[in-house]
Structure 1
Amino acid sequence: MTGPIRRATLAVLSPLRAFLHAESAGGVVLVLAALVALVWANSPAADGYAEFWEQEFTLGGGEAGISLDLQHWVNDALMVLFFFVIGLEIKRELVVGELRDRRVAALPALAAVGGVVLPALLYAALAGGGEAGRGWGIPMATDIAFAVGILALLGRRASTGAKLFLLSVAIVDDILAIGVIALFYTESVGLWWLAAAVGGLLLAAGMRRAGVNSPWAYVPVGLLVWFATLESGVHATLAGVALGLLTPARPVGGRDILNDLVHSLHPVSAFLVVPVFALANAGVDLRGGALGDALGQSVTWAVVTGLVLGKIVGIGGVAHAVRRLGWGTLPADMHRREILGAAALGGIGFTVSLFITDLAFTDAALIGQAKVGILAASVVSAVLGVVLLLTAPTGTADTARPPDGGPPGDRARPGQRE
């Protein structure tokens, strides 16, 4: 491999490897935080769990003051950073990453659509109408940290291509989930506040065009956009996504702002924000027959069916169909039999699924049933994904007919030269 080609390859792969490494380590911390929340909520100190997160804090004063309980400060403010990092990752993948090439992006993008639509349909069919029916968005999500963390634990038994495929699916999944939150889980919109939020975004775009490349200069603007979005009724975390998408993906004035932000903020998101979110939201009280009651409710099984069956069939079925039709190809070292394993891991919908649960329901019983379904589905999906990936061969390139009409198997296999 020549010097320029090698440098170009490293420029693309190094940020991706760092991202995967941080996600896998963050997944371990996330699991531990979720376990702590479950133990705490089912221990003799369970009342303290609820009381702790229901403490109210006020920031500011008068009409500009914001009063929220601690759980909502986590969900509506701290999680903005998580969604900002997601916005940065989406922007990078669309401009300079895996999703910039339409042929390469077609397969995971279409598979992600299948993995969003089918789970929502299965949920709607099983949960029925009323408030329970509002939870159709819950099984749409894929938790990148959990899923990539499990892939990392498998080591060489899961190909790099499988990791790239699942990461691409999860990123497209995030884009769709963000759209669903904005369109379907916003009760009412204050137009003047929304206009102020849009004005803040335009100001940030103008500063970018003017060549302002210090992230600190954008902090006051970001706070303005967050506050206006919160007051508008649109969920405040969408402000983080919008600001992430406005960040330039290519160097400005010799400075790679996007990668600098990802490297600085991703560890904070993975090791602080998401674990705190899990600690605040995963504490489901399963005592006194609550677990048995939840397992007898349609909402619980609608979530489980959507995440487990919907993701495997939706992602896996569409990926196989796209590949057979020649509309897209798998990553070079991913075997087609790894598709179902990666699709199963897509059923781990922990973080965003819990997030949508609190947007969809106000009834505590429905929230509890959905959370039991999310936890159960995540465990089942993790086990299924591991079993399917351990029984699938690795290191073999996709043998489907490529989109350019060439003969099957004409791409180089590992160990062969292109």
Structure 2
Amino acid sequence: MHQVDWIFSETQQRRIRRKTALERITGNGTVSAAVMVCAALLAIIVANTDAYEVLHEFLETPISLALGQVSAGMTVELFVNDFLMAIFFLLVGIELKYEMTVGELRQPKRALLPMVAAVGGVVAPAVIYACLNRGGAIHGWAIPMATDIAFALGVLSLLGNRIPAGVRVFFSTLAIADDLIAIAAIALFYGDSPNPFWLAAAGLTTAALVLLNRTHHVRLAPYMLLGLVLWFCLFQSGVHATLAGVILAFCVPAGSGVKVENLTTWLGQEAVPQLDERFDEEAHILGQHEFTHATAAVERVLHRVSPPLIRLERYISTPVNFFILPIFAFVNAQVRLVGVDLLALALDPVAIGVYLGMLLGKPVGIFGITLLMVKAGVSELPQGVRLGHIAGVGVLGGIGFTMSILISGLAFWSEPPELLAAKAAILAATLTAALVGLAMMSRVSKKSSAA
């Protein structure tokens, strides 16, 4: 910014500095995680006051979404969980596509260890839950298997530079692979019986999105419009509508709309000389039609340099982290304990299965598979990473706030007692995993520094 200060007026410089400061805040994973935690704590407080009934009544308020002559009815709560969370899944899909294009998932050898560890971190919690709930609420098996990327990485960032960069890369790759499995579980096991007509309509809409991508359309508006149509079709089909966000992300182009290798040549030999020729220092900018016409041409080109996927991420990341996720947390963390037998709640098989699945199953699965692969010589730990770090990552993997609450709502939407037990266990396990994981990581980091 300081290198180009002299281009802008003092007023614009101040505005840009304020915007830059705001971007630093909103781009901080720790801050966004803290906002979500505060929203969840506020929800728990409100749920145990007289305001709960008013809030519950509001969340059950019916609203209607229409597409031509076809309409879809839902409650405010369903709008948050099905529509707003589709935008969250759009951001998750963007992160997945990024990693598969230029990140860790592009390099099979480097991604193999955390991806296989993610499978262990999914299977072990599901098995623990299923064993404790066999013959009971078995359909909640997927609740403890999901790791919350935003929350978990936000907690990890509290350690700053005390942990090796390889730990962050390992954990990020693991969490992304974990999310892929969770998305698949939602699609396969937590939707209604599909409606063939609307499923076909969703397929045609997806085909239209793929065609836009293949024909190199770089404007985001057509993708967003078709994305809304896709969401509506999936909502009507019985398949969980949040999957529209992931599908849309994979259809938005990841490439630039210009030949980047020719950009600097064009700017130096054509664009900049034309601007220099047409600029008149003595004339008002409003009267310099040829100059402003030339600048508009440059703007059109430069606007297409950034891939549409990156532009979309810039547009939605802050609203998702500071608006959608806190709203989701507030709406879904309504754990009302007034009049509830706390001992019975704690001993509920659903609560025990979720809590132990997240807090015990995650580290056992992640650490166990990693240890097995390293000792067998199949893979190596990233540079500077010790098995103690992996143990800490396993515990932090038990932070499953967002995805786990979403799955619990799908599994127990018609069974309030089980839903309460699942949500209470999710909150307790997430808090425990965050505190224990931080303590373990801090201790391992001190030992590594001493060594």
What is aligned with 1:54? 60
Residue by residue, what CA displacement relative to the aligned partner does 1:50-102 show, whole Å, maximum 9, x if unpaired?
11211111223885122111110000101000001111111110111011111
- The CA distance in 2 between the partners of 1:394 and 1:197, in whole Å, is 52
What is aligned with 1:249? 254
What is aligned with 2:439? 387
1:103–1:327: 8 Å Cα contact kept in structure 2?
no
What is aligned with 1:33? 39
Deviation at 1:348, TM superposition (A): 0.8
1:104–1:330: 8 Å Cα contact kept in structure 2?
no
- The CA distance in 2 between the partners of 1:396 and 1:250, in whole Å, is 41
- The CA distance in 2 between the partners of 1:71 and 1:291, in whole Å, is 26
Q: Secondary structure at the match of 1:391?
A: helix
Query: Of 234, 238, 242, which aligns to 2:239?
Result: 234
- The CA distance in 2 between the partners of 1:61 and 1:120, in whole Å, is 39
1:167 maps onto 2:192 in alignment = no
What is aligned with 2:402? 351
Deviation at 1:394, TM superposition (A): 6.7
2:335–2:420: 8 Å Cα contact kept in structure 1?
yes
Pair 394,192 (structure 1): closer, same or farther in 2 beyond 3 Å: farther
Amino acid at match of 1:281: N
Amino acid at match of 2:365: G
Amino acid at match of 2:162: R
What is aligned with 1:179? 184
Q: Secondary structure at the match of 1:57?
A: strand
Query: Of 414, 418, 424, which aligns to 1:366?
Result: 418
Amino acid at match of 2:431: V
Amino acid at match of 1:393: S
Query: Of 47, 51, 60, which aligns to 1:45?
Result: 51
Deviation at 1:322, TM superposition (A): 1.7
- The CA distance in 2 between the partners of 1:369 and 1:143, in whole Å, is 19
Residue by residue, what CA displacement relative to the aligned partner does 1:319-339 show, whole Å, maximum 9, x if unpaired?
122222232233323233111
What is aligned with 2:277? none
1:263 maps onto 2:263 in alignment = no
Question: Runs of 5+ in structure 2 lacking a partner?
Answer: 1-23, 259-304
Pair 252,24 (structure 1): closer, same or farther in 2 beyond 3 Å: farther
- The CA distance in 1 between the partners of 2:129 and 2:171, in whole Å, is 23
Deviation at 1:20, TM superposition (A): 11
Q: Secondary structure at the match of 2:335?
A: coil
1:375 maps onto 2:427 in alignment = yes
What is aligned with 1:110? 116
Amino acid at match of 1:70: V
2:143–2:404: 8 Å Cα contact kept in structure 1?
yes
Q: More displaced, 33-42 or 326-335? A: 326-335
- The CA distance in 2 between the partners of 1:200 and 1:171, in whole Å, is 26
- The CA distance in 2 between the partners of 1:89 and 1:50, in whole Å, is 34
1:315 maps onto 2:366 in alignment = yes
What is aligned with 1:303? 354
Pair 345,19 (structure 1): closer, same or farther in 2 beyond 3 Å: farther
- The CA distance in 2 between the partners of 1:350 and 1:63, in whole Å, is 38
Q: More displaced, 245-254 or 27-36? A: 245-254
1:69 maps onto 2:120 in alignment = no
1:151 maps onto 2:156 in alignment = yes
1:333–1:394: 8 Å Cα contact kept in structure 2?
no
TM-score (norm 2): 0.81
TM-score (norm 1): 0.87
- The CA distance in 1 between the partners of 2:167 and 2:246, in whole Å, is 26
Query: Of 278, 286, 301, which aligns to 2:329?
Result: 278
Question: Runs of 5+ in structure 1 lacking a partner?
Answer: 1-17, 398-418
1:325 maps onto 2:376 in alignment = yes
Deviation at 1:317, TM superposition (A): 1.1
What is aligned with 2:14? none
What is aligned with 2:270? none
Pair 396,247 (structure 1): closer, same or farther in 2 beyond 3 Å: farther
Pair 395,94 (structure 1): closer, same or farther in 2 beyond 3 Å: farther
- The CA distance in 2 between the partners of 1:119 and 1:353, in whole Å, is 12
- The CA distance in 2 between the partners of 1:65 and 1:369, in whole Å, is 34
Residue by residue, what CA displacement relative to the aligned partner does 1:206-251 show, whole Å, maximum 9, x if unpaired?
1111121011121211111110010000000011111112223332
What is aligned with 1:191? 196
Query: Of 367, 387, 392, which aligns to 1:336?
Result: 387
What is aligned with 1:204? 209
Amino acid at match of 1:99: L
Q: Secondary structure at the match of 1:392?
A: helix
- The CA distance in 2 between the partners of 1:220 and 1:71, in whole Å, is 23
- The CA distance in 1 between the partners of 2:245 and 2:415, in whole Å, is 28
- The CA distance in 2 between the partners of 1:60 and 1:187, in whole Å, is 21
Q: More displaced, 317-326 or 67-76? A: 317-326
- The CA distance in 1 between the partners of 2:255 and 2:225, in whole Å, is 23
- The CA distance in 2 between the partners of 1:335 and 1:264, in whole Å, is 38
2:216–2:253: 8 Å Cα contact kept in structure 1?
no
What is aligned with 1:292? 343
1:350–1:375: 8 Å Cα contact kept in structure 2?
yes
- The CA distance in 2 between the partners of 1:24 and 1:103, in whole Å, is 30
What is aligned with 2:292? none
Amino acid at match of 1:364: P
- The CA distance in 1 between the partners of 2:192 and 2:307, in whole Å, is 38
Please list, as runs of the form range in 1=range in 2, the aligned pairs for 1:13-24 lying within 5 A after superposition: 21-24=27-30
Could you say what the CA RMSD is over the residues aligned between the two structures, in angstroms?
A: 2.1
- The CA distance in 2 between the partners of 1:61 and 1:265, in whole Å, is 24
Deviation at 1:148, TM superposition (A): 1.1
Query: Of 91, 102, 105, which aligns to 1:96?
Result: 102
- The CA distance in 2 between the partners of 1:255 and 1:34, in whole Å, is 36
Deviation at 1:304, TM superposition (A): 0.5
Pair 147,61 (structure 1): closer, same or farther in 2 beyond 3 Å: closer
- The CA distance in 2 between the partners of 1:312 and 1:122, in whole Å, is 12
- The CA distance in 1 between the partners of 2:388 and 2:49, in whole Å, is 43
- The CA distance in 1 between the partners of 2:448 and 2:115, in whole Å, is 22
